[in-house]
Amino acid sequence: MLLFSGSGSTEHLRLLADKAKSVGAEVVLLTTKPSSPIGDLANAIIELPAGTKYDAEGSAQPLGSLFEQAAQIFLDSIVLDLMSALKVDEETMQQKSCKLRVSYKCKIAL
């Protein structure tokens, strides 16, 4: 399970991480705070040096948008690397993405 939490302490995400771990799933956390409640549960942590709604002092961006934008750019770079490695174009990615949205359902009971 890949979770995004700037603070690493978002309660509903911590509950999801705990549930995922209890059924044997691995948890990866994308955060600005590796030492955090979700970080303690994670198998792997990707640290983004970006401000969150709690510590974005000096940023003109409102609330947690600095972390959210950094996460978006980080993930876009991964997708670009995957496209290159897999030798697929944007049209192919779009077709596969639409199929996944239609056919994928996930339920985790808390």
pLDDT at residue 2 in the model:
93
Q: Which residues participate in catalysis according to the annotation?
A: 68
Calculated CA dihedral for residues 19, 24, 26, 27, nearest 10 degrees: 10
How many residues are recorded in the chain?
110
Q: What are the DSSP calls for 46-66, one per residue?
A: EE-----TTT-TT--S-TTHH
Quick one: average pLDDT of 85-93? 88
pTM of the predicted model, to two decimals?
0.72
* Residue range 45-88, pLDDT digits in tens: 999 987 766 665 666 666 657 888 889 999 999 989 988 998 99
Sheet holding 2-4, edge to edge: 2-4, 28-31, 44-47
Going through 1-110 in order, the beta strands assigned E by DSSP cover 2-4, 28-31, 44-47
Domains defined along the chain, listed by start: 2-103 (3.40.50.10490)
Beta bridge partners of 45: 29
Comparing 94 with 72, the larger pLDDT belongs to: 72
